[in-house]
Structure 1
Amino acid sequence: MTTLEELNQADCARFTSMLGHLFEHSPWIPKEAWARRPFASICDLHREMVMVVEEATYEDQLSLIQAHPRLAANEKVGASSAAEQQDAGLDVLSKREALAFSRLNDVYDKRFGFPFVEAVKGKTAQQLYDSLAERINSTKEAEFNRALAEIFQIAWYRLEAFIKQQKGLV
């Protein structure tokens, strides 16, 4: 079982190994946050990881966004993303629904240069499709900032799940 105290006492490699999944294919975030220990709470830990991203270069932020899989795409994704998309019903779309998602994803990718990112927890496939259809009309700057905000929310959900699982609550 992992506690906040154990996270605070972990060496950099163990800390990064335990939390590397929080930000999609971006273990550099918890690795850099490790130096900011000790954390007073799980909220503090999350806030420090968010600050790592906010202080990162535009290129690193863009790489973080681009590390996220397309929603409802028939592609290999990480375990966390697969479970999250499955919970939203994105794995059981009809061919017509999957094609509609694919078309909108293509337009979004071309318009902004990165994939549509949204925290899917608690949302249905239809809600996600509607959000994609709406956000496709946004500006690149607004979408870049929204993608980061969504990534921070995803990381929070994943951190909560990790802590609950470690405490044997899941």
Structure 2
Amino acid sequence: MPSTQIPLKKVNKMTYEEFIRCFGNVVEHCSLCAAAVWRERPFHDVQHIASSFGDFIDRLPTSGKEGILRLHPDLAGRLAQSGQLTSESTREQRSAGLDKMSEEERQRMSVLNKRYKDKFGFPFVICARENKKDAILKGLEERLENSQLTEAITGANEVKKICRLRILDLVNSDSQSTQSSL
């Protein structure tokens, strides 16, 4: 999380390149989402930014939702273990306690992640900041029973939660609304 949040007024004045640099990873490794949302400026408030990203994700066909899911790392997977996650993912997985798993929990997570990815073709995605490791393991096990379509939609909804929290980290939600200047 940046040490200082960006005022909404500054977000609305960002060039395309600045916007991509700032918001290009609110959807993990998918600056395409930020590229599409940039044109929605001016944003009225931080929720408007988040809903613009969410609306873009909702409009994607199932294959597009699956594509976004494929950009996410496995939870507590090899990238996490080798310190190669984005700073956002590292912080999120740490908040859920995934960095403090026992060897047994890590092996269970690994087996479930593999089964999930083999079945659906994309990694299991859940908003780690809204869950702890036990709930994540339980959710992973339960969601293995879902259909392909259900998981694509469920996973995309989890991406939207992650995205919203990342936007709240970046943008000062107390900054004045642009409503009065529109």
Q: Same fold (TM over 0.5)?
A: yes
SS in 1 for 2:171: helix
Q: More relative contact order in 1 or in 2 (CA 8 Å, sep 6+)?
A: 2
**What amino acid sits opposite 1:43 in the alignment?**
Q
CA distance in 2, matches of 1:87, 1:50: 23
Question: Residue 80 of structure 1 corresponds to which residue in structure 2?
Answer: 88
Q: How large is the Cα RMSD of the aligned pairs?
A: 1.8
**Does the alignment pair 1:121 with 2:132?**
no
More divergent stretch after superposition (110-119 vs 51-60): 51-60
- Give CA deviations for 1:116-144 in whole Å, capped at 9, x if unaligned: 00001142111110111111111111110
The residue correspondences of 1:144-155 to structure 2 (distance < 5 A) are 144-155=152-163
Select 2:17's aligned residue among 13, 16, 31: 13
Normalised by the length of structure 2, the TM-score is: 0.86
**Does the alignment pair 1:2 with 2:6?**
yes
The residue correspondences of 1:21-170 to structure 2 (distance < 5 A) are 21-75=25-79, 76-163=84-171
- Give CA deviations for 1:11-54 in whole Å, capped at 9, x if unaligned: 10001111112110001111111111111111111111122222
The Cα shift of 1:57 comes to: 4.2
SS in 2 for 1:29: helix
CA distance in 1, matches of 2:105, 2:52: 39
Cα distance change, pair 58–141 in 1 and its aligned pair in 2 (3 A): closer
The Cα shift of 1:55 comes to: 2.5
CA distance in 2, matches of 1:12, 1:5: 15
- Structure 1 gap segments, 5+ residues each: none
CA distance in 2, matches of 1:163, 1:51: 19
CA distance in 1, matches of 2:117, 2:137: 15
CA distance in 2, matches of 1:77, 1:150: 18
Percent sequence identity over matched residues?
24
CA distance in 2, matches of 1:126, 1:61: 26
CA distance in 2, matches of 1:33, 1:84: 23
Count residues with an aligned counterpart. 167
CA distance in 2, matches of 1:34, 1:164: 18
CA distance in 2, matches of 1:164, 1:130: 34
